[in-house]
Amino acid sequence: MTFMVVPALLMSSFSLAWYFIDYKVRVDPPRSYRAWTFRLLFHGLQLAPLVRAADAIYYGIASRQPGLSLRVAAQYTQLMLYEDADCAMLRLIECFTESAPQLLLQLYIILTQPYPAPKFQSYCLGFLIRRRRTVDNETHICEFWGSFLWTVPVVVNNL
């Protein structure tokens, strides 16, 4: 239960802090007390991404209103993109804070396991390096022999 509530509270507190920063800097258009009440209510219910997504939809619809000047439409579009980015960042914060305890437990088990640890660790390290090289566009993908020559010293070192 704690591993679900704490990330949601952390996410809601980040969202509220970002709203207050936007209010201080005057990035957001002025809101009524009713809108702030709904924001605070939904943040209390730990539904911060829903509020951000609703704001993004509102700004997206507002940017498409006929009769708006190009400058105002661009401002609403920019606000929509900011709200969408904030919503994605909140979901990312929640995902990482929910999965952190499980990851720590898995790392503890791997590092304290006496029997197959060196071979398993070397395999994991080689796998991690290969995956990183395939994802990173700046580096070229290692061929089999390059990967083999990189992994052999790691395996030998752990034996």
Q: Is the pTM of this model over 0.75?
A: no
pLDDT tens column, 63-120: 888 888 888 889 889 889 988 988 899 888 888 888 888 888 888 887 787 766 566 7
**pLDDT reported for residue 130:** 72
Other C-beta atoms closer than 10 Å to the C-beta of 14 total: 16
Q: Where are the domains of the chain?
A: 2-101, 113-158
**pLDDT reported for residue 153:** 75
**pLDDT reported for residue 142:** 58
**pLDDT reported for residue 144:** 63
Q: Are 121 and 110 a contacting pair, CB within 8 Å?
A: yes
Query: Is the pLDDT assigned to residue 143 strictly greater than 70?
Result: no
Q: How deeply is 80 buried, as exposed, middle or buried, from its count of CB atoms within 10 A (0-12, 13-18, 19+)?
A: buried
Between residues 62 and 121, which one has the greater pLDDT? 62
**pLDDT reported for residue 32:** 85
Structure tokens at 100: 């952190």
pLDDT tens column, 38-59: 888 988 888 888 888 998 999 9
